[in-house]
Amino acid sequence: MGKTFNELAQDLKDYIVDKHSNYRGLKHMSLQRYNNLTVAMNSKRYGQQHVIIKVGISEAAFSFPYVNKIDGGLGMDERFVMQWIGLDTTIQSLDALWKTIKLAELDNS
């Protein structure tokens, strides 16, 4: 079974912080900065498979499995987010969540 949105958010936070750890002094700053990172989907807003990433006041939507930005921006973190979305394990988890959301919509209609 795939991961939950909270588990994916924690994975992304760890991924970004690890990427920042290559820069002197940024690892500690990154831990605090990404405490409010969220991962979500909204099938009514975007019809195609996508993931919405929020970091602070920044938000962006990305399609998958072919990673393209649909909307918004995340500044310097965007490239790390796109790399993370492109990972096979991430795509599998996102795909499972998307299917769950679409099935729930069918059940509610």
Residue span of the structural domain in which 88 resides: 5-102
- Identify whether 82 is part of a domain: yes
- Identify whether 107 is part of a domain: no
- Interval 87-103: pLDDT, tens: 999 999 999 999 998 88
Is 80's pLDDT higher than 90?
A: yes
- Identify whether 17 is part of a domain: yes
Helix axes 5-20, 88-108, angle to 10 degrees: 150
Give residue 91's identity as a one-letter amino acid code.
I
- Interval 34-69: pLDDT, tens: 778 999 999 888 889 999 999 988 999 999 999 999
Task: Count up the domains in the chain and report the number.
Answer: 1
- Identify whether 108 is part of a domain: no
Kind and range of the H or E run holding 69: strand 68-73
pLDDT for residue 35: 78
